[in-house]
């Protein structure tokens, strides 16, 4: 793909950006060359805008290690070692690293992200059009938005909103300061700690405790190895199970079996906890879980 002023004008760029581009990028310049020119001039936002307008390519950037102020690449970024970017890394397709992936203000991939180390965003967001997988942990100062699954062997810490079209599989603790929207299931090996509402389309399985969440809602069942404490309501489409207590916030209820018929509660809306939950509005409490005497 080659750029001309007429070709660019058809995308309705801002006046300042178009003037700069006209002065510094010659007609006939290649797509990636144009992106590199913008990035090298410090116009990273313009480069990201250009990539969003014209889409990805099948090009591959394959290097041993990558350290830069910013990277905007229209294809796939493949690095045998680690990636360390001071501001933004954005790829039209996938980002893959044999080590860790660190960025100062944003990581964006049109497809998936796969790293053998940790993913860290110091002050921005993480966004992927496919799965995100880290063999270590994930820590993001802003939001995490993923069109597939989020998988991490260690902790996941999100200081903003966590929004997943797939599910989440976290080996250790999951800590989220913003709302959580997960279209599929959520599985956490350690504790789940929140500060806002959490909703999943499928089930929730947590090895430790669930705490701090505002409202907790799952389309299927909810199971925690320790206690479940929320600030608001607890709603499960099927059964509820905790090794300790199940406690909703003051004045809020606990609901099991919301997505099944009442006559099936004995099998599909069981509530297992050390004590009968105060404010249990639906479901059948059966006592302490046999798995957690």
What does pLDDT average to in each consecutive run of 10 residues of the chain (293 residues)?
61 63 65 89 90 93 97 98 98 98 97 98 96 98 98 98 98 98 98 98 98 98 98 98 97 98 95 96 93 62
226 in a structural domain? yes
> Residue 50 has what pLDDT?
87
If you count DSSP H runs as helices and E runs as strands, how many of each does the chain have, helices first?
5, 38
Is-contact 257 283, C-beta < 8 A? yes
> Residue 214 has what pLDDT?
97
* Entry pTM: 0.93
> Residue 157 has what pLDDT?
98
Total of domains in the chain: 1
43 in a structural domain? no
79 Cβ neighbours under 8 A, 6+ residues apart: 62, 63, 64, 65, 66, 96, 97, 98, 99
Q: Tell how far CA 53 is from the center of its chain.
A: 24
Is-contact 173 153, C-beta < 8 A? no
> Residue 292 has what pLDDT?
62
CA angle 20/21/26 to nearest 5° reads 130
Range of the domain at 211: 187-293
Nearest to 98 by CA among 150, 129, 136, 57: 136
40 in a structural domain? no
60 in a structural domain? no
Burial status of residue 81 (CB atoms within 10 A of its CB: 0-12, 13-18, 19 or more): middle
235 in a structural domain? yes
23 in a structural domain? no
> Residue 148 has what pLDDT?
98
76 in a structural domain? no
86 in a structural domain? no
> Residue 164 has what pLDDT?
98
């Amino acid at each position: 793909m080659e750029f001309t002023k007429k070709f660019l004008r058809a995308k309705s760029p801002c006046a300042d950006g178009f003037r700069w581009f006209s002065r510094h990028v010659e007609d006939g310049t290649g797509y990636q060359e144009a992106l590199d020119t913008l990035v090298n001039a410090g116009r990273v936002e313009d480069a990201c805008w250009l990539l969003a307008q014209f889409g990805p390519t099948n090009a591959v950037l394959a290097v041993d290690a990558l350290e830069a102020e910013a990277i905007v690449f229209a294809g796939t970024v493949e690095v045998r070692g680690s990636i360390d970017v001071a501001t933004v890394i954005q790829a039209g397709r996938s980002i893959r690293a044999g080590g860790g992936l660190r960025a100062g203000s944003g990581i964006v991939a049109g497809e998936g992200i796969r790293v053998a180390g940790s993913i860290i965003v110091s002050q921005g967001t993480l966004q992927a059009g496919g799965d995100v997988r880290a063999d270590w942990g994930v820590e993001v100062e802003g939001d995490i938005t993923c069109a597939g699954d989020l998988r991490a062997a260690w902790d996941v810490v999100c200081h903003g909103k966590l929004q997943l079209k797939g599910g989440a599989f976290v080996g250790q603790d999951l800590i989220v300061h913003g709302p959580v929207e997960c279209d599929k299931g959520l599985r956490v090996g350690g504790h789940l700690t929140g500060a806002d509402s959490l909703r999943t389309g499928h089930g929730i399985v947590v090895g430790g405790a669930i705490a701090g969440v505002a409202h907790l809602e799952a389309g299927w069942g909810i199971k925690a190895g320790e206690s479940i404490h929320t600030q608001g309501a607890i709603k499960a489409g099927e059964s509820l199970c905790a090794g300790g207590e199940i406690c909703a916030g003051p004045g809020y209820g606990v609901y099991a079996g919301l997505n099944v018929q009442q006559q099936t509660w004995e099998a599909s809306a069981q509530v297992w906890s050390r004590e009968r939950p105060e404010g249990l509005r639906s479901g059948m409490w059966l006592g302490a879980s046999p798995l957690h005497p």
